Amino acid sequence: MTPDLKGIVIIVGNYGSGKTEVAINLAVASHAEGVAGVRIADLDLVNPYFRTREARHQLHRLGIDVVLPPEKYLHADLPILSPDVAGMIKQPGPLNILDVGGDHVGANVLAAVADAFGDKPPQMLQVVNPYRPFTETVAGCMKIRREIEAAAKLDMTGIVGNANLIDETDVNVIYEGHRFVQRFSRESGLPVAFVTADVGLMTDLDPDRLACPVLPIRRQLVPPWGRSANLAAG
Protein backbone atom coordinates (compact mmCIF):
# COMPACT_ATOMS: atom_id res chain seq x y z
CA MET A 1 0.00 0.00 0.00
CA THR A 2 1.67 3.25 -1.12
CA PRO A 3 0.58 6.65 0.21
CA ASP A 4 -2.24 8.36 -1.70
CA LEU A 5 -1.82 12.13 -1.46
CA LYS A 6 -3.17 14.96 -3.59
CA GLY A 7 -2.97 18.76 -3.72
CA ILE A 8 -0.29 20.68 -1.87
CA VAL A 9 1.81 18.55 0.49
CA ILE A 10 4.42 20.33 2.59
CA ILE A 11 7.19 18.17 4.02
CA VAL A 12 8.66 19.56 7.25
CA GLY A 13 10.54 18.15 10.25
CA ASN A 14 13.60 18.54 12.36
CA TYR A 15 17.02 19.03 10.81
CA GLY A 16 18.23 15.80 9.22
CA SER A 17 14.95 13.90 9.69
CA GLY A 18 15.03 12.83 6.03
CA LYS A 19 12.55 15.29 4.48
CA THR A 20 14.31 15.43 1.13
CA GLU A 21 14.50 11.65 0.63
CA VAL A 22 10.82 11.46 1.61
CA ALA A 23 9.84 14.29 -0.77
CA ILE A 24 11.78 12.89 -3.75
CA ASN A 25 10.55 9.33 -3.25
CA LEU A 26 6.95 10.46 -2.63
CA ALA A 27 7.08 12.35 -5.94
CA VAL A 28 8.41 9.28 -7.75
CA ALA A 29 5.97 6.81 -6.15
CA SER A 30 2.98 9.06 -6.88
CA HIS A 31 4.15 9.50 -10.47
CA ALA A 32 4.49 5.70 -10.81
CA GLU A 33 0.98 5.24 -9.39
CA GLY A 34 -0.31 7.30 -12.29
CA VAL A 35 -0.72 10.76 -10.75
CA ALA A 36 -0.28 13.00 -13.79
CA GLY A 37 1.52 16.27 -13.12
CA VAL A 38 3.68 15.74 -10.02
CA ARG A 39 5.71 18.80 -9.08
CA ILE A 40 8.35 19.14 -6.39
CA ALA A 41 9.84 22.39 -5.09
CA ASP A 42 13.12 22.69 -3.18
CA LEU A 43 12.52 25.26 -0.43
CA ASP A 44 15.57 24.26 1.61
CA LEU A 45 17.28 27.49 2.62
CA VAL A 46 19.14 25.84 5.50
CA ASN A 47 21.20 22.90 4.24
CA PRO A 48 24.32 23.59 2.18
CA TYR A 49 24.73 20.04 0.78
CA PHE A 50 22.49 17.00 0.16
CA ARG A 51 19.36 18.75 -1.17
CA THR A 52 16.50 17.88 -3.58
CA ARG A 53 18.47 19.61 -6.32
CA GLU A 54 21.00 16.70 -6.26
CA ALA A 55 18.27 14.46 -7.81
CA ARG A 56 17.00 17.03 -10.32
CA HIS A 57 18.31 15.26 -13.42
CA GLN A 58 16.75 11.89 -12.53
CA LEU A 59 13.43 13.60 -11.64
CA HIS A 60 13.40 15.58 -14.89
CA ARG A 61 14.01 12.42 -16.89
CA LEU A 62 10.98 10.78 -15.24
CA GLY A 63 8.84 13.78 -16.22
CA ILE A 64 8.57 15.23 -12.72
CA ASP A 65 8.69 19.02 -12.62
CA VAL A 66 11.39 20.33 -10.22
CA VAL A 67 11.08 23.94 -9.08
CA LEU A 68 14.54 25.28 -8.20
CA PRO A 69 16.43 28.57 -7.99
CA PRO A 70 18.37 29.41 -11.18
CA GLU A 71 21.35 27.09 -11.79
CA LYS A 72 23.97 29.78 -11.12
CA TYR A 73 22.68 30.24 -7.54
CA LEU A 74 22.58 26.53 -6.62
CA HIS A 75 25.66 26.80 -4.39
CA ALA A 76 25.14 30.33 -3.10
CA ASP A 77 26.43 31.00 0.42
CA LEU A 78 23.00 32.54 1.18
CA PRO A 79 20.44 30.24 -0.49
CA ILE A 80 17.57 31.92 -2.34
CA LEU A 81 13.90 31.16 -2.91
CA SER A 82 12.60 30.85 -6.46
CA PRO A 83 9.60 33.11 -7.23
CA ASP A 84 8.16 30.13 -9.15
CA VAL A 85 7.22 28.56 -5.79
CA ALA A 86 4.46 31.11 -5.15
CA GLY A 87 3.16 30.49 -8.67
CA MET A 88 3.06 26.75 -8.01
CA ILE A 89 1.08 27.28 -4.80
CA LYS A 90 -1.43 29.64 -6.42
CA GLN A 91 -2.05 27.34 -9.38
CA PRO A 92 -1.41 23.86 -8.01
CA GLY A 93 -1.31 20.75 -10.18
CA PRO A 94 -2.66 17.34 -9.06
CA LEU A 95 0.24 16.84 -6.57
CA ASN A 96 2.63 19.57 -5.43
CA ILE A 97 5.33 18.60 -2.95
CA LEU A 98 7.20 21.30 -1.05
CA ASP A 99 10.51 20.14 0.48
CA VAL A 100 11.22 22.58 3.29
CA GLY A 101 14.48 23.08 5.26
CA GLY A 102 14.94 21.71 8.75
CA ASP A 103 13.45 22.86 12.08
CA HIS A 104 11.46 26.05 12.59
CA VAL A 105 14.35 27.97 11.02
CA GLY A 106 13.77 26.13 7.75
CA ALA A 107 9.98 26.48 8.08
CA ASN A 108 10.24 30.29 8.29
CA VAL A 109 10.22 30.28 4.51
CA LEU A 110 6.59 29.10 4.54
CA ALA A 111 5.43 32.30 6.22
CA ALA A 112 6.97 34.17 3.27
CA VAL A 113 4.69 32.35 0.82
CA ALA A 114 1.69 32.13 3.21
CA ASP A 115 -0.40 34.60 1.17
CA ALA A 116 -0.24 32.28 -1.83
CA PHE A 117 -2.09 29.52 0.07
CA GLY A 118 -5.21 31.76 0.24
CA ASP A 119 -8.04 30.20 2.27
CA LYS A 120 -7.19 26.60 1.34
CA PRO A 121 -4.94 25.22 4.07
CA PRO A 122 -2.40 22.74 2.66
CA GLN A 123 -1.39 19.39 4.12
CA MET A 124 1.74 19.67 6.23
CA LEU A 125 3.50 16.44 7.22
CA GLN A 126 6.10 16.18 9.97
CA VAL A 127 8.88 13.73 9.15
CA VAL A 128 10.18 11.93 12.25
CA ASN A 129 13.27 9.76 12.63
CA PRO A 130 13.50 8.70 16.29
CA TYR A 131 17.17 7.77 15.75
CA ARG A 132 18.03 11.48 15.33
CA PRO A 133 18.99 13.82 18.19
CA PHE A 134 16.14 15.92 19.68
CA THR A 135 13.37 13.61 18.32
CA GLU A 136 14.18 10.45 20.24
CA THR A 137 11.25 11.24 22.56
CA VAL A 138 7.61 12.08 21.83
CA ALA A 139 8.07 15.28 23.86
CA GLY A 140 10.91 16.27 21.53
CA CYS A 141 8.69 15.70 18.48
CA MET A 142 5.85 17.72 20.06
CA LYS A 143 8.25 20.62 20.71
CA ILE A 144 9.46 20.63 17.11
CA ARG A 145 5.85 20.44 15.90
CA ARG A 146 4.92 23.54 17.92
CA GLU A 147 7.99 25.46 16.74
CA ILE A 148 7.42 24.61 13.07
CA GLU A 149 3.69 25.47 13.24
CA ALA A 150 4.51 28.83 14.82
CA ALA A 151 7.18 29.66 12.23
CA ALA A 152 5.14 28.45 9.23
CA LYS A 153 1.85 29.90 10.50
CA LEU A 154 0.25 26.62 9.36
CA ASP A 155 -1.16 23.58 11.18
CA MET A 156 0.47 20.16 11.03
CA THR A 157 -1.88 17.61 9.45
CA GLY A 158 0.03 14.33 9.68
CA ILE A 159 3.16 12.36 10.59
CA VAL A 160 5.65 10.52 8.38
CA GLY A 161 7.66 7.82 10.16
CA ASN A 162 11.15 7.78 8.64
CA ALA A 163 13.07 5.64 11.14
CA ASN A 164 16.46 4.74 9.72
CA LEU A 165 20.18 4.41 10.42
CA ILE A 166 20.99 4.71 6.69
CA ASP A 167 23.12 1.65 5.74
CA GLU A 168 22.65 0.04 9.15
CA THR A 169 18.83 -0.01 9.00
CA ASP A 170 17.12 -3.38 9.46
CA VAL A 171 13.43 -4.33 9.76
CA ASN A 172 13.53 -3.96 13.54
CA VAL A 173 14.50 -0.30 13.14
CA ILE A 174 11.38 0.12 10.94
CA TYR A 175 9.11 -1.71 13.44
CA GLU A 176 10.54 0.29 16.36
CA GLY A 177 10.08 3.52 14.42
CA HIS A 178 6.51 2.54 13.55
CA ARG A 179 5.68 1.95 17.21
CA PHE A 180 7.25 5.31 18.03
CA VAL A 181 5.17 7.30 15.52
CA GLN A 182 2.01 5.49 16.70
CA ARG A 183 2.78 6.78 20.19
CA PHE A 184 3.43 10.28 18.82
CA SER A 185 0.12 10.00 16.90
CA ARG A 186 -1.84 9.03 20.03
CA GLU A 187 -0.41 11.90 22.04
CA SER A 188 -0.67 14.54 19.29
CA GLY A 189 -3.93 13.50 17.65
CA LEU A 190 -2.18 13.64 14.25
CA PRO A 191 -2.68 10.66 11.91
CA VAL A 192 0.32 8.69 10.61
CA ALA A 193 0.24 9.42 6.85
CA PHE A 194 2.81 6.72 6.07
CA VAL A 195 6.13 5.21 7.14
CA THR A 196 9.17 4.64 4.94
CA ALA A 197 11.48 1.70 4.29
CA ASP A 198 14.49 1.32 2.06
CA VAL A 199 13.44 -0.51 -1.10
CA GLY A 200 15.90 -3.30 -0.21
CA LEU A 201 13.96 -4.06 2.99
CA MET A 202 10.47 -4.12 1.46
CA THR A 203 10.36 -7.89 0.88
CA ASP A 204 11.44 -8.62 4.48
CA LEU A 205 8.79 -6.35 6.01
CA ASP A 206 5.62 -7.95 7.36
CA PRO A 207 2.80 -5.61 6.21
CA ASP A 208 0.54 -6.94 8.99
CA ARG A 209 2.84 -5.34 11.55
CA LEU A 210 2.48 -1.89 9.97
CA ALA A 211 -0.94 -0.25 10.25
CA CYS A 212 -0.32 2.37 7.57
CA PRO A 213 0.97 2.78 4.00
CA VAL A 214 4.70 2.27 3.36
CA LEU A 215 6.73 4.48 1.02
CA PRO A 216 9.70 2.63 -0.48
CA ILE A 217 12.88 4.77 -0.42
CA ARG A 218 15.43 4.65 -3.21
CA ARG A 219 18.23 6.61 -1.63
CA GLN A 220 19.34 9.70 -3.57
CA LEU A 221 21.53 11.69 -1.20
CA VAL A 222 24.71 9.65 -1.11
CA PRO A 223 28.37 10.57 -0.51
CA PRO A 224 30.72 10.58 -3.53
CA TRP A 225 31.89 6.99 -2.93
CA GLY A 226 28.32 5.69 -3.03
CA ARG A 227 25.87 5.56 -5.89
CA SER A 228 22.32 6.93 -5.77
CA ALA A 229 19.57 4.39 -6.50
CA ASN A 230 17.85 4.38 -9.88
CA LEU A 231 14.53 6.18 -9.35
CA ALA A 232 13.05 4.61 -12.49
CA ALA A 233 13.54 1.01 -11.23
CA GLY A 234 10.52 -1.01 -10.17
> If we measure between CA atoms, which residue out of 83, 88, 28, 87 comes closest to residue 52?
28
129 scored as a contact of other proteins (CB under 8 A): yes
168 scored as a contact of other proteins (CB under 8 A): yes
Please identify which residue in 71, 118, 119, 167 interacts with other proteins, judged by CB under 8 A: 167
Give me the least distance between CB of 223 and other proteins, in Å please: 5
- Residue 146 in 3-state DSSP? helix
C-beta of 119 vs 167, nearer to other proteins:
167
Give me the least distance between CB of 63 and other proteins, in Å please: 27
State the burial class of residue 40 (Cβ atoms within 10 Å of its Cβ: 0-12, 13-18, 19+).
buried
Please identify which residue in 71, 119, 225, 230 interacts with other proteins, judged by CB under 8 A: 225
Give me the least distance between CB of 90 and other proteins, in Å please: 32
Distances (CA, A) of 61 to 12, 44, 48, 56: 26, 22, 24, 9
> If we measure between CA atoms, which residue out of 85, 24, 34, 88 comes closest to residue 58?
24
Binding mask 39-58 for other proteins (x = CB under 8 A): --------xxxx--------
Question: What do you get for the CA distance between the two ends of the chain, in Å?
Answer: 15
71 scored as a contact of other proteins (CB under 8 A): no
15 scored as a contact of other proteins (CB under 8 A): yes
In whole angstroms, give the CA distance from residue 7 to residue 58: 23
Q: Say if residues 8 and 123 touch (Cβ distance below 8 Å).
A: yes
72 scored as a contact of other proteins (CB under 8 A): no
Binding site for other proteins (CB under 8 A): 15-16, 47-50, 75, 77, 129, 131-134, 136, 164-168, 223-225
